[in-house]
Chain A
């Protein structure tokens, strides 16, 4: 059995809501392994995005632990965890508006401390892979379509050479063909480069392409 790269143990997350606190996650426990694509599905309000935020180090749990390669991420530090080990692709608000597509990628590589490669060269390679042409690479996000922006965001996540990639509704704003291309990119990342890919989605197409589908309902996670 493969050692889990990410382990969620009894995660609870509550939020203030009027007079009483609202519990969104009620003791979620799950392991994620390298080289696999996971989909997290569930109805709206089931806690999918909260789960992704906790696993991606964007938020801290009320109780329970998130461990990366056996170390509690609270110990690593959420900032350092996000910086070195994981990357998240959001449905919106992915890119820095004042930078071109290439600059968005090279800036992220600088922030995450990627060394030993030519950053521009690597950025161009990834944009080639994701089908962003030369003209679009020099454009700022406002002049790119939603699908192009999503692909640049994925390229940026790949450029940072992280172990776990999270994606929140990555195909939500894409047409079917582009969505299929993006899903294929995620699969290659997992199966060829050994990354762990966790996708929060409503899309049956994405779920079907995943190695494992996790169902989240009323704060509880179950495997299908």
Chain B
């Protein structure tokens, strides 16, 4: 068509203007494409993160809700057969919820404490100072009854590793225990050996019960003992004992067959954080009272993984918009100025009877040709730029997130009374951008570039449609 030929001649003759427009579009398209690529990489990373870590949902007693509820309906309530009247969470309920198809793993814990016996003495890195009256303080072994020790945060994040034997596994019954190697060495214990804990003397009304445990496995905790000063045994990492739920219940003086199925809290790992609603529905169907035992999602791992890349993607989104709007304005101004400069040409074409649409079409073709050339070059330059800029931005965000995490780690988490949030093992944020140029990204940047070209030409070109050739070509005599 004639307008294409004229456009080509104009582009060739006015090479400076052609290069200026192409360069401008190249900047717009490259920056926009980089933004789109970073957004795509962030979306992929978020999806991968969802699949890799999912989310941990914790179910535990909300004491205030329980008190409010008991005050309202006199201590009874739905689900009373599964949830103890005192606000106990029964493991049968957790097992039912754990069978939900959206749950990829679950655990529940029962916290207990054991007093030392001749066969189980405390591991002490530093002996208690002579002036300390040991009778005045309660020294104990922290005993954590678990359904599955592998689901515990320390074992999941690798800070605790099994050295020998096995961990506590789902379905284990009896009094099996997983002990730390420092405690094992202090007491000369090996896998298969038996040791005894006392239920303790700190509750004067309770009967002192002696519970025998069989060592199922020995693990190592990376956390070092304080070798400079005395640490109470309950805070000494070497004294942490994991046992079956049955074992922990017996230490609390409960019979596992009757009142021993009560756990402190249950955690459920979801394959996808978006499945929380489905889990709630399944929990309600299982008979849970979600008012008293709310399900709180801990997607900290997910947020840790994708937080910095999400921030980078947000920045990229803002960049795309800013560049697009600024580009539209600049190209629009250039196009408007060009139309003004070329009024004479428009008048000549109009006097020849060329349609206004075709005259405008020629300008659109010229700008579009520059945009297409720029898009082609941007397809090569965009991935390189997005990788370089994206990685630089991301490393800043990751560093910022690490500093924030260190700050958060130092500060006590007052909202984490039950310790459920610590069930999520530590993860490192995604610190590399997986930039992949897909046809969809090119379509998006193409649409943005061509959209800018079209708008920038058509909007000022509306003025052209109003012109009459006489206004341009004669002096108005």
Interface, chain A (partner B; CB < 8 A): 15, 44-50, 52-53, 56, 58-60, 79-84, 87-88, 90, 93-99, 103, 107-108, 110-112, 140, 160, 168
Contacts and interface: CB of A to CB of B under 8 A. Distances in A.
What are the 3 tightest A-B residue pairs by CB atom distance, in nearest-first order? A83-B353, A49-B477, A82-B353
Contacts of A49: 474-477
Nearest to A56: B351
A111 B477 contact: no
Interface of B: 2, 5-6, 9-10, 13-14, 344-345, 347-356, 468-470, 472-477
A93 B472 contact: yes
Given A52-B474, A107-B5, 20 more contacts: A49-B474, A56-B351, A58-B470, A59-B468, A59-B469, A83-B352, A87-B352, A94-B348, A95-B348, A96-B345, A96-B349, A99-B6, A99-B9, A99-B13, A103-B9, A110-B2, A111-B349, A111-B353, A140-B13, A168-B474
A10 B167 CA distance: 108
Nearest to B476: A49
20 contacts: A15-B476, A49-B474, A49-B475, A49-B476, A52-B474, A53-B470, A56-B351, A58-B474, A82-B351, A83-B354, A87-B352, A94-B348, A95-B348, A96-B345, A96-B348, A96-B349, A97-B345, A98-B9, A98-B14, A112-B353
Contacts of B477: 44-50
Contacts of B348: 93-96
A148 to B, nearest CB: 16
For the residues of B in contact with A, the DSSP-based class is helix
A59 B472 contact: no
B10 A98 contact: yes
Nearest to A153: B348
Nearest to A54: B470
Contacts of B352: 82-83, 87, 108, 111-112, 160
A196 to B, nearest CB: 17
Nearest to A168: B474
Contacts of B474: 49, 52-53, 58, 90, 168
Nearest to A49: B477
Given A58-B469, A93-B473, A79 B351 contact: no
B3 to A, nearest CB: 9
A48 B475 CA distance: 11
Contacts of A84: 353
Contacts of B353: 79-84, 111-112
Nearest to B6: A107
Contacts of B354: 79, 83, 111
B232 to A, nearest CB: 90
A45 B476 CA distance: 9
A213 to B, nearest CB: 18
Contacts of B6: 96, 99, 107
A15 B475 CA distance: 14
Nearest to B14: A98
